[in-house]
Amino acid sequence: MKLSLYSATAVAALGFSSQLAAFADAPATDEARRLEVVTVTTQKQAQSLIDVPINVSVTDQAMIDKLGADDLEDLGNFIPGLQVQAQSLNAPSYSLRGVVSDSGTPRVALFQNGVAIGNPSFASNLAIYDMERVEVVKGPQATLFGQGALVGGINFIQNRASLDGNSGGLTLEGGDYGFLRAEGNYNWAISDTLALRFAGQIKNLDGYVPNTANSPDLMGQDTTALRTSLHWAPTDRLTADIFVNYQEDDSTGTQFTSGFFPINGVVDPFGATAMNVNDDQVRSKLGNDRELTYITANLEYELNDAWSLTSLTDYRNLFSNEAWDSDGAAFNLLQFYQARQANTFSQELRLNYDNGGDLTAFFGGNYFTLSGKDELRFSTDEAYAQSLFAPRIAAGAGLTVAQARAVLAGASVPGAANFGSFETPMQFSALGALLLGQLVPLYGEHLEQQISTDERDTYDLFGDVTYAVTDRLKLTAGLRYTTEDLAASTVGVVLKSNPYLGGLNGVTLSPTLLLSSATLGNKASASEGTDGAFTWRFNAAYRVSDDINTWVAYGRGRRPEVLSATGATYNLIEAETLDNVEAGLFGRFLDNRLQMTSSVYYGQYKNFQTTRFDAINGIFITENSGNATQYGFEFDGQALVTDNIRLLATYAYTHSEYDDKDDDGNALQFAGNSFRLSPEQSFSLAADITVPFGEHGNFSIVPSYIWKSKHFFEDDNGFDYVANTAGGFDRNPEVYPDGSLVQEFENAYGIANLRLGFDSADERWGAYVLGENLLDEEYLIDVGNTGGAFGLSTIIRGKPQMVKAGVYIKF
């Protein structure tokens, strides 16, 4: 640990030493360019970033455009400690400091204009356009952002309507794979007290993964996003901002290339795939269509010179339909469809106190309610399903697959030699022949359905106080109290079954093949009221000088209890907690031509929750996987080498792994494993270079490079686990049905991008060319997925090389 942290510090120091030397010979003048002072609202009030005793990374729309980071997956590459796996609209994974938010209550809180949007997770992947800024806050921040901020939060702050006048802009961009992006905005100052702003985005991308089956090429997406915002300031004390966001998406599906079934004779995650859709998956093609509507109202009223009241109200209406092929093959084996709908409402009231003295504070309460309903369909051809489960079927009779073939041949079952084959599967039920002594034809359209509901009511009280002990020393303490009411239900039904078996399937001779038979026609439900719990933070900030602020922090984060189903039984999984200590600094140097944020941290997790797909019951379940430890170092800096050259650099060292034992001394299943999506080291480098072109304008050159070390895609790190007699677990490498190893990780890789542009002298128009992944680096973003639960891990590749060109105008 020490060696790695020292190395990280050395990298940061050496990276800027040459810049400091260059600055020494160039004394600053009043005309020299400086880095802008960044203002954030992380602590519920507008503050300069240097005054915030927290590790915060901030970017605005201008920098998003220059880096070509128009989605969160790309933007995350330039934020130390953040990894984003946006493999599909419905299933984005946000990893901050090695800790991933998957399904369920998020660990990484996601906010839009101060309102939590991370739950439900299928609606958290939003279009990024017309942004004021994006704030990424590291470490437990439950006092500031609520219980979802176990390890940090991301707040997307959209541009408000402005009273400063009328203005607008339009951007058009096109590129490889049919890429088209059109964005526009217009601000209308109706009067001295009322303004409207309209913004929208249309973004289309054809699939870049060729599909040889009956659905379009994969990883394509069409998005239409619209926004209206209203700003009203009838008096000097009252302001109101209302945002109405609407987004409609239609994708061609996530690539799940099989690591087992060859396409054109080879298994190649960077080549074509063969993924099919059938009529029972409702959609006419693979992929997802979503419709998201958000209405947010922010009212602020200054009660007097010291106190202000803020009301934040939000309502969301969310729909999603998705069809996916989990086996990555052209036949019907593991075909899924999921329809989701949810409604959420939240109301926060907050009092802020600031009379210009030594004490500032805020106090408030929040209510959040979620009501969701999911429909999950599983369809399969029994012949292929029997081939998949052949080893289990044979083992149930005390036989190997080869021995079962011989027994079936002896019973004169047609195609017995093909038992267990996927190329020409046996078309009769093996168990029908072995147990019933009958030739039962297998059915090609088996269909099961599960309907589940999820309800959550959350009540929060919170307060935060900062006191200036001296002109240089400030102490902050925050406390949040949370309690919840949870309810869930599940019911299953078989919509199509083998017509020769009277309601049974031909593979296992039971009513269901995948879903829990315990909930078949029998609604299982549960409701729980959780015990109230506290989370907190303590910060001490010492201002070394006007340009350097140092701080230490201790915080408790919490991921709340969750109801998890196993068959017809619901279990309340204990809350997960994180205790984190951290020390950092923010500094401005050389007349604000160099600035940096840096921190080291150490955290301990208790009752770490993991989510996995249960292939026996056909559901995702959450379980307690024990304790874990993380520590690391982060650096985020930028420097003006000259007035025309700005350098940006980030670095993160992240060590996150499961402990060997829990608090009771029991061996942990994932002992010593690294967290998923957690490269131990990652960095980004970028340069913003301006080349003046006289009175005509400026050329810009923005090269960037992102690098990530080896990392795993699942918490099991590519192993199956079996409890042993010594009280521990034996680890066996995951294998495909033919015995070949599943490589559930990605080795180190780097990606180079380049943006070349021209901006007119009046900054009213411009044009640019953007090259993404210029070296066409081949890398993976996921291995395993739903198919991994059945021994058929699938693979998702990263984005290939793409070239785009665009123009913009402002008016």
The DSSP string of 21-63 is HHHHTS---TTS--PPPPEE-TTSS-EEGGG--S-EEEE-HHH
Hey, what's the torsion of the CAs at 67, 72, 78, 82, to 10 degrees? 180
Helices (H), 318-445: 382-388, 390-396, 401-410, 430-431
pTM of the model: 0.89
Burial letters 277-290, b for 16+ CB under 10 A, else e: bbebbebebbbbbb
Indicate whether 351 pLDDT > 70. Answer: yes
Max mean pLDDT among 112-121, 557-566, 723-732 falls in 112-121
Question: In angstroms, rounded to a whole number, what is the distance separating the alpha carbons of residues 134 and 165?
Answer: 24
- Specify burial of residue 454 (Cβ count, 10 A radius: 0-12, 13-18, 19+): buried
What is the pLDDT at residue 70?
81
Average pLDDT over residues 787-798: 93
Q: Give the helix/strand (H/E) hosting 576.
A: strand 576-589
- With tokens 């999984």, the residue in question is 573
Residues 535-558 have a mean pLDDT of: 94
pLDDT-derived band of residue 386, with 50, 70 and 90 as boundaries? Answer: very high
- Is the separation of the CB atoms in 217 and 252 below 8 Å? yes
CA–CA dist 165, 754 (Å, integer): 35
Q: What local confidence, expressed as pLDDT, does residue 179 receive?
A: 97
On the question of pLDDT at 518 being above 50, the answer is yes
Dist. CA 582–CA 566, nearest whole Å: 38
594-606/628-642 β-pairing: antiparallel
In whole angstroms, what separates CA 676 from the centre of its chain?
A: 12
Give pLDDT, residue 461.
95
Instruction: Give the pLDDT score at 776.
Output: 96
Sign (positive/negative) of CA torsion 415, 417, 423, 426? positive
The pair phi, psi for residue 700, each rounded to 5°, is -125, 140
- 662 alpha carbon, distance to own chain's centre: 28
Which pLDDT band holds residue 10 (cuts at 50, 70, 90)? very low
Residue 472 Cα to chain centre, angstroms: 38
Identify whether the C-beta of residue 239 lies closer than 8 Å to the C-beta of residue 312. no
Residue bearing the bigger pLDDT, 403 or 1: 403
Place of tokens 């795939």: 273
Please check the confidence at residue 90 and state whether its pLDDT lies above 50.
Answer: yes
Cβ–Cβ < 8 Å for 797, 783:
no
**Is residue 13 over pLDDT 50?**
no
Residues 6+ apart with CB under 8 A from 27: none
Decide: helix, strand or coil at residue 162: coil
What are the residues whose beta carbons fall under 8 Å from the beta carbon of 681, sequence distance 6 or more?
8, 651, 652, 653, 654, 708, 709
Pairing of strands 152-158, 108-112: parallel
Q: What is the pLDDT of residue 519?
A: 87
Residue 665 pLDDT greater than 70, yes or no: yes
Give the count of beta carbons closer than 10 Å to the beta carbon of residue 496.
15
Eight-class DSSP state of 164 = S
What's the whole-number mean pLDDT along residues 284-288? 95
Letter string b/e over residues 681-716, b meaning 16 or more CB atoms within 10 A of that residue's CB: bbbbbbebbbeeeeeebbebebbbbbbbbebbbbbb
Assess whether pLDDT exceeds 50 at residue 622: yes
Q: 32 or 417: whose pLDDT is higher?
A: 417
Residue 147, pLDDT score = 61
Q: What secondary structure does DSSP assign to 405-422, as a single string?
A: HHHHHHTT-TTGGGTT-S
Rounded mean pLDDT, 446-466: 95
For 318-345, how does the pLDDT look when each residue is reduced to its tens digit (9 = 90+)? 999 999 999 999 999 999 999 999 999 9
Is the Cβ–Cβ distance between 16 and 639 less than 8 Å? yes
Reduced to 3 states (helix: H, G, I; strand: E, B; else coil), residue 395 is helix
Residues whose CB falls within 8 Å of the CB of residue 554, separated by 6 or more in sequence, listed in order: 537, 538, 579, 580, 581, 582
Q: Are 604 and 656 in contact (CB under 8 A)?
A: no
Residue 586: C-alpha distances to residues 249, 477, 589, 594 (Å): 40, 20, 10, 11
713: which residues sit within 8 A by CB, 6+ positions away? 676, 677, 744, 745, 746, 780, 782, 783, 784
Instruction: Judge whether residue 620 has pLDDT over 90.
Output: no
Closest C-alpha to 593, from 637, 636, 634, 635:
637
Match 């680890």 to its residue by tokens. 731
Task: Give the Å distances, CA to CA, from 695 to 643, 700, 732, 760, 811.
Answer: 17, 15, 68, 9, 20
Q: Say whether pLDDT at 20 is over 80.
A: no
Asked if 294 and 316 touch (Cβ cutoff 8 Å), the reply is: yes
Q: Of 69, 66, 97, whose CA–CA distance to 81 is shortest?
A: 97
Judge whether 90 and 96 are in contact, CB under 8 Å: no
pLDDT tens string 118-175: 888 888 888 999 999 999 999 887 778 766 667 888 899 999 999 999 999 999 999 9
Q: Who's near 775: CB < 8 A, 6+ residues apart?
A: 751, 752, 801
pLDDT at 360: 95
Considering only CA atoms, which of 341, 388, 345 is closest in space to residue 366?
345
Mean pLDDT on 20-44? 61
pLDDT bracket for residue 609 (50, 70, 90):
low
**Dist. CA 281–CA 336, nearest whole Å:** 6
pLDDT digits (tens, 9 = 90+) for 174-196: 999 999 999 999 999 999 999 99
Contacts of 60 (CB under 8 A, 6+ apart): 131, 132, 133, 134
Burial class of 538 by CB neighbour count within 10 A (0 to 12, 13 to 18, 19+): middle
Q: What are phi and psi of 591, to 5 degrees?
A: 55, 40
Task: Centre a 10 Å sphere on the Cβ of residue 673 and count the other Cβ atoms it contains.
Answer: 21
Asked whether the predicted pLDDT for residue 316 surpasses 60, the reply is yes
Question: Taking 90 as the threshold, does the pLDDT of residue 211 lie above it?
Answer: yes
Q: Are 673 and 731 in contact (CB under 8 A)?
A: no
Query: What percentage of the chain has pLDDT greater than the value 90?
Result: 70
Let me know how many helices (H) and strands (E) the chain has, helices first.
Answer: 9, 44
Q: Average pLDDT, stretch 199-204?
A: 97
Give me the pLDDT at residue 194, please: 98
What is the structure's pLDDT at 22? Answer: 37
Average pLDDT over residues 406-427: 95
Cα separation values, 604 from 6, 111, 151, 725, Å: 21, 25, 11, 29
**Angle CA(456)–CA(461)–CA(463) in degrees, nearest 5?**
145
Does the pLDDT of residue 243 top 70, yes or no? yes
Q: 25 pLDDT exceeds 60?
A: no
Query: 548 — phi, psi (to 5°)?
Result: -135, 125
Give the pLDDT mean for 250-277.
Answer: 94
Sign of CA dihedral 751, 756, 761, 763: negative
Q: What is the mean pLDDT of the chain?
A: 89
Residue 2 predicted with pLDDT over 60: no
pLDDT in tens, 60-89: 999 999 998 888 889 899 999 999 887 777
pLDDT band at 583 (very low <50, low <70, confident <90, very high): very high
More confident residue, 424 or 108: 424
Which pLDDT score is estimated for 624? Answer: 64
Bigger pLDDT: 609 or 43? Answer: 43
| Chain segment 303-312, per-residue pLDDT in tens | 999 999 999 9
| pLDDT of residue 7 exceeding 50 | no
The predicted-structure confidence for 699-750, as pLDDT tens digits, reads as follows 999 999 999 999 999 888 999 888 788 877 889 999 999 889 999 999 999 9
